[in-house]
Copies of this chain bind each other. A is one copy, B any other.
Amino acid sequence: MGELRIGVVGYGMMGRAHCYGYRVAPMIRTLPVTPVVTVMSGRDAAAVAKAAAACGVPQTLTDWRELVARDDVDVVDICTPPGTHAEIAEAAAATGKAVLCEKPLAVSYAQAASAARAVAGVRNAVGFNYRRLPAVALMRRMIDDGAVGDVRLWRATWLSDEFTDPTTPYDWRFDRAMGGTTIADLGCHLIDMALWMAGEIADVCAQSQTFITKRPLFDGGVTEVGEADVTVDDASSALIRFASGARGTVEMARSAVRRPCDFTVEVNGSEGTLLFDYARLNELWYGSAHSDPSRYGLTRIRAEHLSHPYAADWWPIGQGVGYGSSFANQVADLLENWPDGPWTPDFAQGVAVQAVCEAMERSAASGRWVATREVAG
């Protein structure tokens, strides 16, 4: 069995999470190739060397262009800040390499669409990893199987406290051009799940707010040298009209004290309700309109039964998986039929998500409902 050589661009938390995925995937799924991360790149030579050592990656580079150009790389895996994704993806695709890109695909719809056009000739995917959690995948499967009937209401919230401390220094996350907004950062996952579970989004109406508008600026991370303007939203929310006639709401906030990274997704359909709470990620709540009324309530499904998505790959029921499993599942899904595909979700899906996010941005800026097709043309 041959090796599939991965070059990881970026050495932060996401780079590490992806390396975990490559390492674990062959243990949970029989794959036609063994993924091996051959090289990792990052601008800070010492930092990338340290990360690469931890991840068992033998080679490092400080210029992603070199990584993209190398012969010993089959797949370019992009784990850098969002503002850099499109350019790297385009360069990688130009060499014919497969591209896996972290979310959000870009910091604008135009950038995302350009990247999607560029990668059309190679295998391409976007890292919407939460789809790969067993309970989330089960939720989608149950919707497809009719467990809730016609989707009528869809709601999701993502609450984090990442931006609650006003002493947190300015960095790329607060810069719209580099990191993208809260709508993009947190919202893109929720919108991906919305599109995946409930179909096309026709229109949105959003509001955004920045509660802490300036952040201390540090020179080399040590000496405070002033303040910088925050150009992203701390929190946003939106109303959603799905093309199907379903209605939705979504909220994403980095202003919620003692809410580390709590997201929930609920669907109410004509025949049932499904509810996922990421804080208890191995569970899925379900109620059917047709269940025995004397048992009225929701069932807390332990989403680890052998019949459930991903479950047979991992541990016996009752032994939960964690966040990391989504990355191993992602690798396993993408490589299971290598070099065949399909790879999903692909850049086209990333573009569709970006269209909705950008419609939310425009709506928040203009104070009116915005159709997704205004963005996507």
Contact = CB atoms under 8 A, between A and B. Distances in A.
Interface in A9-57: 13, 16-17, 19-20, 23-24, 26-27, 30, 34, 53-56
Given A271-B257, A318-B261, A369-B367, A251 B155 contact: yes
Contact of A322 (B27, B241, B286, B319): B319
A137 interface: no
A301 B299 CA distance: 8
A322 B317 contact: no
A152 B211 contact: yes
A24 B13 contact: no
Oligomeric state, in copies: 4
B321 A256 contact: no
A287 interface: yes
Interface string A259-291: 111100000111111000011111100111101
B289 A258 contact: yes
Contact of A247 (B237, B296, B323): B237
A26 B148 CA distance: 42
A205 B278 CA distance: 28
A324 interface: yes
For chain A, the bracket of interface size reads: 35 or more
A79 to B, nearest CB: 14
A207 interface: yes
A324 to B, nearest CB: 7
B160 A257 contact: no
A38 to B, nearest CB: 16
Interface stretch (A81-89, A95-103, A110-118, A303-311): A303-311
Interface of A: 13, 16-17, 19-20, 23-24, 26-27, 30, 34, 53-56, 148, 152-153, 155, 157, 159-161, 164-165, 205-207, 209, 211, 234-235, 237-239, 241, 245, 247-249, 251, 253, 255-262, 268-273, 278-283, 286-289, 291, 293-302, 304-305, 307-308, 314-325, 367-369
User: Which 10 interchain pairs have the tightest Cβ spacing?
Assistant: A261-B318, A258-B287, A260-B318, A319-B323, A322-B322, A321-B322, A260-B317, A256-B268, A299-B299, A297-B301
